[in-house]
Structure 1
């Protein structure tokens, strides 16, 4: 796969089933079962770029300027803009960051694990790394002496206390470190996604970058508590010029004391892409392997001023579609530069959580169930119960008392998940016709769930 096929305008493609390698480590397999039970993650892209309300990192790449610098006064070559971007650390001061509040909101939303950007492609580190001065705890960052300055340490601990798992997003590219980007090579100051040099022709420089990367990954895996997943972006790092950062070496070292930790080496395939990660899309059919769609709650992964957020109805419909096909949803929220979560995002998250408090049994811990999604009904299953989820895309939708369930398995009892009320039904060819209770209120519910069981087995 070529670079332009991997990433288009910052959105990544995803690996297919043919490149998936089933892990051999029984503890990794066990952790994959845990992963497939969780269903819902909160992804967060946050860093100094939030001050501008622009796309994270991408405007630094001259090769991506045509789409990533829209709305930016970047002059002729972009050199002044790039300097200003890299200097954003000197004004980043999120004094209203309260990790416990974030964790409480996530818990209320029904979130089961966090995917947090420890470092994006721009190289700015949201933890107290010892291997880079471009970090939240550096003296030139005004937030460095705040008691929450080590963002990752405080955030991870707050989320763990709520029983929420931790996934560390880490970009394998680093556009700030001189062992990756430097103007001393033939590219000069014109940079692209990859290194400024050919690693084959400059093996010592590449090895210096690999060592730096391993050291940072080891820090996150050894000094920040239990890490459930390491989530690696910038798949092109291993797809150009036969580059290799030997990710497996450092992952196996960490797994010696973090047994079973998952590795999502996205778009690369092979033994260290334990699950695949569609971005801003949902596959048409079940993939047959573990997967997670990362999709924005608003219009952008990073914070955007006056952004518009999906409604709880839209997010739940998205979640149901993904879960019915065997995947997880990582819903992304970009925090504000002052450290707060946007109010519009909070409203959507809490609305999502209200539905999940009632109907979560049809989502969490489930697995795929044919016919997956048909005739407006999505299917999941768990512990002998098939959940038939009827989705209403609009509050003005008609809610009929007669419901067609296109499920051909044996059923002897059908109940409502919310009220436990028995539902009369008739067996028909290729399905069941239900006579559902009348819905109270004028607006259609987001979705209602019918529990199908065969008590005779």
Structure 2
């Protein structure tokens, strides 16, 4: 029955990118804590991170959490043998806890692959909206370490701790994704009422004791993550409808549907988190204000640099969570995404959904390896860079070093991955002099020169380099030392 469910689900969900888009908040408030600013600045230099959506839902190969949400949206559609009745479906979904047993789970293998790809930080879903905890919480038995979960007998059953420890050992910054809403917790979706949508299913003002209990539950779980899992750098909070009513933007469709004030006391949570984790970067995504220390455009790349720190979170495949036979973006496209994101001053958080057995697909590993091969040559033009206007012209993309002494001009290949170099590259806004040096990172021994003309510098590319360009992959980079 599970195999039939998975096949049916895969046919549907592989056609849908489960990207519940979050419009970017605009009321950014720069942190004042010097430790937060220091960590945020360091994070901005890293540029490239790994995101992982993983939970019991991977066994069905369906969108994470959303199929138990009673909303009529593309990503919430129920499929399979339990779909006809909501209560039967939710019961079967939550019963996935009793079969979750990722025996191939090896976080050191993930960390090694991510490090080889040039990634520098990781964000793991410690709990998604469905409430299943990938860490050893004391607040609920709906967790990977419960005796109800087969994987609880493994010495690696505390998945969040194992992942954080393995990636930290390889020098990664550590990010804990945590869903503010919890659709399993009876003080959020109170069983007395049926859930109506993604929001709390009762009026917190009418039942303040229940909302207080939920706030305490949330606070306690985040405190567990801040105290028992080593150094944590980023608290990545999702579920932006859990917010003070005063922060709702009526111009945004999904925010207009929030019926109640759902203030969970972010000031108290942030203060507690930073007591245990000094300098903790808090990302209360889509809410804005002082607890959204960086902004997270989803499945998109801004056209121009933003006036605040940001990261594009984008799936490698067609879904955030594991889907059997998913279609993965080609390496060429992923490298171009990275280049375009950093040219606008952002970070790239690339998502891979682990399988129910606890591993990535062979294709995902292949993509990471190919990205890594490119990064080994071009990484110096990625890390610690800042935008350089005009950012992108045709197939040329620009960035510069933070001290503005080095300019990097990327030439991107076409969609098929074939790289053709132009006869010349116009570099606006700079003037070459006798000390100016130009190096092609793919051919560092070749001598190149800049010539000033009409307020710009012209980089003439010799035919010998154009002939070699066929062997360059995805993009090549010209380093201009000013």
1:60-95 C-alpha deviation (Å, 9 max, x unpaired): 111246542254344433221111001101000001
Q: Distance in 1 between matches of 2:18 and 2:145?
A: 31
Indicate the SS of the match to 1:143: helix
Contact 1:396/1:443, CA 8 A, preserved across alignment: no
Contact 1:395/1:444, CA 8 A, preserved across alignment: no
Of 403-412 and 103-112, the range deviating more from structure 2: 403-412
State TM-score, norm by structure 1.
0.93
* Alignment correspondent of 1:255: 274
* Alignment correspondent of 1:447: 475
Q: Distance in 2 between matches of 1:449 and 1:441?
A: 11
Find 1:108's aligned residue among 113, 116, 128: 116
Q: Distance in 1 between matches of 2:213 and 2:376?
A: 50
Of 196-205 and 324-333, the range deviating more from structure 2: 196-205
Within a 5 Å distance, the mapping from 1:292-371 to structure 2 comes to 292-371=311-390
Find 2:148's aligned residue among 129, 136, 140: 140
Gaps of 5+ in 2: 1-16, 249-257
Q: Distance in 1 between matches of 2:362 and 2:292?
A: 35
Within a 5 Å distance, the mapping from 1:58-457 to structure 2 comes to 58-64=66-72, 67-69=75-77, 71-185=79-193, 188=194, 190-238=195-243, 239=248, 240=258, 241-382=260-401, 383=403, 384-395=405-416, 397=418, 399-400=420-421, 402-411=423-432, 412-420=436-444, 421-436=446-461, 437-440=465-468, 442=470, 445-454=473-482
Q: Compared with structure 1, are the counterparts of its residues 64 and 165 closer, same or farther at alpha carbon in structure 2 (3 Å cutoff)?
A: farther
Q: Distance in 1 between matches of 2:417 and 2:440?
A: 22
Q: Distance in 2 between matches of 1:152 and 1:398?
A: 41
Contact 1:395/1:445, CA 8 A, preserved across alignment: no
Q: Distance in 1 between matches of 2:18 and 2:327?
A: 20
Contact 1:394/1:444, CA 8 A, preserved across alignment: no
Q: Distance in 2 between matches of 1:32 and 1:413?
A: 32
1:22-64 C-alpha deviation (Å, 9 max, x unpaired): 1111111111111110100100000100000000000111124
Q: Distance in 1 between matches of 2:71 and 2:269?
A: 31
1:5-32 C-alpha deviation (Å, 9 max, x unpaired): xxx965132334x400011111111111
Contact 1:405/1:432, CA 8 A, preserved across alignment: yes
Q: Distance in 2 between matches of 1:13 and 1:182?
A: 26
Report the number of matched residues.
Answer: 443
Q: Distance in 2 between matches of 1:418 and 1:66?
A: 44
Of 113-122 and 382-391, the range deviating more from structure 2: 382-391
How far apart are residue 377 of structure 1 and its match? Answer: 1.3
Q: Compared with structure 1, are the counterparts of its residues 243 and 133 closer, same or farther at alpha carbon in structure 2 (3 Å cutoff)?
A: same
* Alignment correspondent of 2:52: 44
Q: Distance in 2 between matches of 1:58 and 1:309?
A: 22
Of 98-107 and 422-431, the range deviating more from structure 2: 422-431
State TM-score, norm by structure 2.
0.88
Find 1:13's aligned residue among 16, 22, 29: 22
Q: Distance in 1 between matches of 2:415 and 2:407?
A: 25
1:88-136 C-alpha deviation (Å, 9 max, x unpaired): 0100000110111111111111110001000000000001111111000
1:294-321 C-alpha deviation (Å, 9 max, x unpaired): 0000000000010111121110000001
Structure 1 position 55 matched with structure 2 position 63:
yes
Give the CA RMSD over aligned residues: 1.8
Indicate the SS of the match to 1:144: helix
How far apart are residue 410 of structure 1 and its match? Answer: 2.4
1:166-194 C-alpha deviation (Å, 9 max, x unpaired): 10000000000100012313xx3x43111
Of 375-384 and 24-33, the range deviating more from structure 2: 375-384
Contact 1:290/1:327, CA 8 A, preserved across alignment: yes
Q: Distance in 2 between matches of 1:237 and 1:69?
A: 22
Gaps of 5+ in 1: 1-7
Of 252-261 and 52-61, the range deviating more from structure 2: 252-261
Q: Distance in 1 between matches of 2:467 and 2:406?
A: 23
